[in-house]
Amino acid sequence: MFKLYIGNKNYSSWSMRPWVLLKQAGIGFEEVKVRFDSFDAGSSFRNTIDPLSPTGKVPVLVDGDLVVWDTLAIAEYVAERHPDKHLWPHDGAARARARSVCAEMHSGFAALRSNCFMNIEASLPEAGALIWRDKPAVRKDVARLVAMWQELLARHGGPLLFGDFTIADAYFAPVCTRLKTYALPIPADVAQYVDRVCTLPGVKAWIDGALAEKDFIDFEEPYRLKR
């Protein structure tokens, strides 16, 4: 059975992707949560993760003696190990598009990432309104998401980006939670896609876990004071 090392569910967008992928696909795994106490050398987090991964980051997938790090590598490995789950689209052109949009999410959308930290437990519409007003790069990132999702939903007929659930939907699940947390303005059809993703059993299970944590971490909270 796979062993997946993750960070706090409320904050760790990178951890969310492979966890949701495995859960939604019905692939068994053991979860090992490593709390974000600090990312400094000598922290409990680093002492746990550094011996596993050369990057010192989560997520990390362990399969027997093999260690796989980085979300794209984990997704590809899981897809290869479980071809019966059809985690990439069957059609070659659709599969290439799915890999492209996942890679774009992996390396892009820097403004949205850096201004709208994932924080599932929080409701931050006021912060979102200020970010939307003052950060044109965030508006540009959201416009790109909207255009991408509308094109894929129209091309493949929904209800998800490539029809049925794929790695692409797992990859964009953290962004869906960001859009909700900050109440960023999106068209109705895109909001419906966001709602569909957030109600997928695998995504809902992650969200429920995030809400149950009750673990306020100061350095992950630029917009809230500890209650």
45 plus 132 within the same structural domain: no
Residues 186-214 have pLDDT tens digits of 999 999 999 999 999 999 999 999 999 99
- How many Cβ atoms from other residues are within 10 Å of residue 38's Cβ? 13
Residues 6-30 have pLDDT tens digits of 999 999 999 999 999 999 999 999 9
Any domain includes 109: yes
128 plus 186 within the same structural domain: yes
Q: In CATH, what number is assigned to the domain containing residue 22? A: 3.40.30.10
Any domain includes 188: yes
pLDDT band at 105 (very low <50, low <70, confident <90, very high): very high
Count structural domains, the chain. Answer: 2
pLDDT band at 225 (very low <50, low <70, confident <90, very high): confident
50 plus 32 within the same structural domain: yes
Average pLDDT, the chain: 97
Distance CA 14, CA 72 (A): 10
97 plus 80 within the same structural domain: no
Q: In CATH, what number is assigned to the domain containing residue 180? A: 1.20.1050.10
pTM of the model: 0.97
Q: Which domain holds residue 118?
A: 92-208
Q: What whole-number percentage of the chain has pLDDT above 90?
A: 99
**Residue 3 above 80 pLDDT?**
yes
Any domain includes 127: yes
Residue 177's beta-bridge partner residues? none
Residues 118-128 have pLDDT tens digits of 999 999 999 99
pLDDT band at 38 (very low <50, low <70, confident <90, very high): very high
* Amino acid letter, residue 18: P
pLDDT band at 226 (very low <50, low <70, confident <90, very high): confident
185 plus 99 within the same structural domain: yes
166 plus 103 within the same structural domain: yes
63 plus 130 within the same structural domain: no
112 plus 180 within the same structural domain: yes
Residue that is last in its domain, among 50, 85, 120:
85
Distance CA 161, CA 101 (A): 10
**Residue 82 above 80 pLDDT?**
yes
Taking residues 90-107, report their average pLDDT: 97
36 plus 142 within the same structural domain: no
119 plus 45 within the same structural domain: no
**Residue 227 above 90 pLDDT?**
no
Distance CA 218, CA 26 (A): 34
107 plus 203 within the same structural domain: yes
Contact 85, 25 (CB under 8 A): yes
Q: What whole-number percentage of the chain has pLDDT above 70?
A: 100
Distance CA 82, CA 105 (A): 23
Taking residues 76-81, report their average pLDDT: 98
Contact 37, 8 (CB under 8 A): no
